[in-house]
C-alpha cells in the first residue's frame, strides 16, 4: 500500500509541476459547455433539457485529452520497465495511474461542474445529484481510460486507437449519468441510476486492473 500511495504521490507532484495541463482540461470542459448556448440560443427550457447531456459529453472529451500521456512518459524515459520490475504488481500500477488521472483531471471537472450548471439553468437542489453522478462516472471513465492507454501503449497511431477503445466503454456511463440528472429534473428518483453508476465503477476496477496490466506487460516485451 505504501508503494501504491508513493506512486500516486509521485504522479501528483509531476502534475503540479506542469499545472498548466490541469487548467487545460477544466478550461476545455467549460469552453465546450459554453459553446452550446451560442449555437442553440439562450432559451431557458431548451438549455435545461440539454444541460445534463452537454455536461457529460464535455466531461468525457476533457478526460480524453490527457489519456494518451498516462503511460507515455514512463515508457519514453524507461521508468515503466523499472515499475514493472518493482514489487508493485502491474495491476496496482494501472490502478494507481487511474487514481492519479482522476485526482488531476476528473476531480477538477467535478468541482467546475456547478459553473456549467448555472449556464444551463439547472435548479440548485439538483446540484447534489449532478456532482455525485460525476464523481462516480468520472472515476469509471478514468479507469476505462487507463485501460485503453495501457493497451495502446507502443502501438502505431495509439492516439487514434485510444478514443476508439474508450468511447464504447464510456457510453453506459454517459447514459446513466445523464439519466440520473434527468430523473431529478422530472421529479423522479435518481437513486437507481446512481446505483447503476456505482455498479459500473465496481465493474471498471477489475477490467482496468487485469486488462491494463496485460497491456503494460505487452508493451514492455
pLDDT in tens, 104-137: 888 999 999 999 888 888 888 888 899 999 999 9
* pLDDT band, residue 68 (cuts 50/70/90): confident
Handedness of CA 145, 150, 151, 153 (dihedral sign): positive
Other CB atoms within 10 A of residue 141 CB = 33
pLDDT in tens, 25-54: 888 999 988 888 888 877 888 888 888 889
pLDDT in tens, 180-198: 999 988 888 889 999 999 9
Instruction: Report yes or no: 160 and 166 within 8 Å, Cβ to Cβ.
Output: no
* CA dist 211 → 108, 153, 185, 207 (Å): 27, 12, 37, 6
CA atoms of 141 and 137, how far apart (whole Å) = 6
Of 96, 22, 94, nearest in space to 63 by CA: 22
Other CB atoms within 10 A of residue 97 CB = 26
Task: Indicate the pTM of the whole model.
Answer: 0.89
Amino acid at each position: 500500500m505504501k508503494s501504491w500511495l508513493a506512486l500516486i504521490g509521485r504522479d501528483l507532484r509531476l502534475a503540479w509541476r506542469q499545472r498548466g495541463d490541469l487548467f487545460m482540461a477544466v478550461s476545455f470542459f467549460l469552453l465546450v459547455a459554453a459553446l452550446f448556448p451560442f449555437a442553440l440560443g439562450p432559451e431557458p427550457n431548451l438549455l435545461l433539457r440539454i444541460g445534463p447531456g452537454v455536461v457529460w459529453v464535455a466531461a468525457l472529451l476533457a478526460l480524453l485529452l490527457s489519456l494518451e500521456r498516462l503511460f507515455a512518459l514512463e515508457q519514453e524515459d524507461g521508468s515503466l520497465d523499472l515499475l514493472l520490475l518493482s514489487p508493485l504488481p502491474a495491476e496496482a500500477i494501472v490502478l494507481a495511474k487511474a487514481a492519479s488521472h482522476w485526482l488531476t483531471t476528473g476531480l477538477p471537472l467535478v468541482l467546475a461542474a456547478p459553473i456549467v450548471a448555472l449556464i444551463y439553468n439547472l435548479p440548485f437542489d439538483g446540484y447534489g445529484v449532478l456532482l455525485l453522478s460525476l464523481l462516480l462516472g468520472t472515476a469509471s471513465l478514468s479507469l476505462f481510460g487507463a485501460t485503453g492507454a495501457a493497451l495502446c501503449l507502443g502501438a502505431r497511431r495509439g492516439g487514434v486507437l485510444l478514443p476508439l477503445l474508450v468511447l464504447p466503454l464510456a457510453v453506459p456511463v454517459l447514459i446513466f449519468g445523464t439519466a440520473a440528472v434527468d430523473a431529478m429534473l422530472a421529479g423522479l428518483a435518481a437513486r437507481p441510476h446512481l446505483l447503476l453508476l456505482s455498479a459500473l465503477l465496481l465493474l471498471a476496477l477489475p477490467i482496468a486492473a487485469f486488462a491494463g496490466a496485460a497491456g503494460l506487460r505487452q508493451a514492455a516485451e
